[in-house]
Structure 1
Amino acid sequence: MIRVGLNHHIYDKLLKITSQKNVMVDEKLKNHTYTRLGGKADFLVTPETYKEVQEIVKLANNENIPFTLLGNGSNLIVKDGGIRGIVMNLQRLTDISTTGTTIVAQSGARIIDVSREALTHRLSGLEFACGIPGSVGGALFMNAGAYGGEIKDVLVSTKVVDKKGNIQILTADQLDLDYRTSNIPEKGYIVLEATFSLKKGNYEEIKAIMDDLTYKRESKQPLEYPSCGSVFKRPPGYFAGKLIQDSDLQGKQIGGAQVSLKHAGFIVNIDNATASEYIALIHHVQETVMKKFGVKLEREVKIIGEDPQ
């Protein structure tokens, strides 16, 4: 298969939509993921406006080119063969604004920063998000949550681009938000921004909750190594980390990927792991826990891209 990255026609068309600094050719995706894994993208594009997002989607459709939304790469494993076609990263869309008890945040903004914006304005409801590393778009994509809170508790609406490149405004109810899921991937929506409704609160009380959650996260999670965060969803009636720990898998290593010694629910990249090694360790953990406890661990992390040639 001829790499799209060699197609100057597509490159020229992308430059008509956005500036040269926003179009990277044969870019290593390991430089753009929290796991530090992943092969090359033919084109990695970082649009600066909603109009550019629309035009890039329409270009991919018109030229029949594969299109992938990367997000900020926090809950994602990109395979070693990389991704063909156009890969879009919305890291330049980071505006956050507050009016009364409502916060509107663009999809590339970190959900952590949105929670800090809420604190600044003495707004309560997003304390749970103070340690979630993903973007706003990614948080909606998987209905991110922690410490008893989740996005669907505070989301009012979202502005998205659909598969045809049209902008739609959807209510939270229209996203089918459930435990770590939404219909965003199924519908092929690209989140542009989200509107959150919060409640007036006391600054010191909100800060105390956020400080406590931050301490819990930093003391229990292996933040010193690249990882995708929690690898598995919580199985009904169990805790994934406890099952993995009780299966004597902590410290288990395949290549440079290791089941964290600090928190068994994390797989960390301790020594230049490849995506293949990381994925192999995920499968090994799933098989071992199933064999020992009869419990199926379902991945929370998304795996995309091609296997190496």
Structure 2
Amino acid sequence: MKVVEHLDLTLYNSYRIKAICKRAYFPDSENDIQTIYTSDDDVRKIVLGSGHNIILSKSTYDDYFIIFSGNFNRVTITGTEVVAEAGISMYDLSLHALAHELSGLELFYDIPSSLGGAVVMNAGASGEEIKDLLTKVRYYNPSSNQFADIQQDEMAFEYRNSFFQRNPHLIITKAWLSLKKGTKAAIKEKMEQNKATRWAKQPKEYPNAGSVFKRPKGFYVGALMDELQLKGYSIGGAKISEKHGGFIVNVNNATGDDILRIIKHAQDKVHERYGITLEVEQRII
């Protein structure tokens, strides 16, 4: 297990916010995770997957970060069953499925997330969600120092919500997915179509962390930003994307505070005009 003191987290969050943590662990096994949590250090520990869907609100953290990005990413495929560790990116996982002519993960080819993060958030788009592919998840509970498995129907999935979202102290280590047989040509075509659709709509040219807000019932966040003329609104190095109002982008060394202030401004304006409380989808650390 690699351990780094005073790690610069810039490359470990998709907003590319500069922040330093006291110590970073890069676990490679479940034993490593257990070792981290059973050490004598009484220091708060923060788990990062791929670093997407998060906002680092501080420039310095006196906390330990446990980083799954680039490690903890082994995959086993048997027939139509995929068993993967939580640190694998959804991009890489979709390529594994393609290589085995398995369909179901095409949508996630261009959804930036680790598998663990996708499960926590019940990631998805266009009516498809990760919950529809899951059969089981393994996790570690630091409180009891035990690993346990939970079945899909026990995870109480909702729109961008899950059992793990409601129990953030639990750490996903592995997931089982059930896919379907397909052909490489058809799977690849759907992957490229999904990617082209997303790139046409989303501000891929600047660092961002995806959709900032959950979609309120009966409304679209992008349309609300349009109507309120908030696209392009900026504070510091961050701004609401002109390409898609549901995104905040880092255009010039933005800080977490810049992003949070824009979020507050957008929430206030939407509530003032429509009486809607926009709920932040991203995890604020």
Are 1:145 and 2:121 an aligned pair?
no
- What secondary structure does 2:229 align onto? coil
Residue 307 of structure 1 corresponds to which residue in structure 2? Answer: none
Q: Which amino acid aligns with 1:34?
A: S
Residue 13 of structure 2 corresponds to which residue in structure 1? Answer: 33
Residue 50 of structure 2 corresponds to which residue in structure 1? Answer: 72
- What secondary structure does 1:228 align onto? coil
Deviation digits for residues 52-89 of structure 1 (CA, Å, limit 9, x no counterpart)? 01111222xx4322111122210000112433232100
Q: Distance in 1 between matches of 2:141 and 2:61?
A: 21
Q: Distance in 1 between matches of 2:165 and 2:65?
A: 15
Do 1:220 and 1:263's aligned partners in 2 also have CA atoms closer than 8 Å?
yes
Q: Distance in 1 between matches of 2:65 and 2:165?
A: 15
Residue 212 of structure 1 corresponds to which residue in structure 2? Answer: 193
Q: Which amino acid aligns with 1:110?
A: S
Structure 1 pair 82/71, CA: closer, same or farther in 2 (3 Å)? Answer: farther
Equivalent residues in 2 for 1:106-117, closer than 5 Å: 106-117=85-96
Are 1:171 and 2:188 an aligned pair?
no
Residue 202 of structure 1 corresponds to which residue in structure 2? Answer: 183
Q: 1:201 Cα shift? A: 1.8
Q: Which amino acid aligns with 2:220?
A: F
State, as a whole percentage, how many aligned pairs show the same letter: 36
Residue 4 of structure 1 corresponds to which residue in structure 2? Answer: none
Structure 1 vs Structure 2 CA RMSD = 1.4
Q: 1:138 Cα shift? A: 0.4
- What secondary structure does 1:194 align onto? strand
Are 1:242 and 2:242 an aligned pair?
no
Greater per-residue helix proportion: 1
Q: Distance in 2 between matches of 1:158 and 1:285?
A: 36
Are 1:162 and 2:141 an aligned pair?
yes
TM-score normalized with structure 2 length: 0.95
Q: 1:219 Cα shift? A: 1.3
Q: Distance in 1 between matches of 2:100 and 2:282?
A: 32
Aligned residues: 282
Do 1:38 and 1:77's aligned partners in 2 also have CA atoms closer than 8 Å?
no
Q: 1:192 Cα shift? A: 0.9
Deviation digits for residues 138-164 of structure 1 (CA, Å, limit 9, x no counterpart)? 001111111221010000111111123
Deviation digits for residues 85-105 of structure 1 (CA, Å, limit 9, x no counterpart)? 321001211112211001111
Point out 4+ residue stretches in structure 1 off by more than 3 angstroms: none
Q: Distance in 2 between matches of 1:267 and 1:252?
A: 9
Do 1:141 and 1:182's aligned partners in 2 also have CA atoms closer than 8 Å?
yes
TM-score normalized with structure 1 length: 0.88
Q: Distance in 2 between matches of 1:196 and 1:32?
A: 26
Residue 247 of structure 2 corresponds to which residue in structure 1? Answer: 266
Q: Distance in 2 between matches of 1:38 and 1:159?
A: 32
The partner residue of 1:128 within 69, 85, 107 is 107
Unaligned residue ranges in structure 1 (runs of 5+): 1-17, 305-309
Residue 9 of structure 1 corresponds to which residue in structure 2? Answer: none
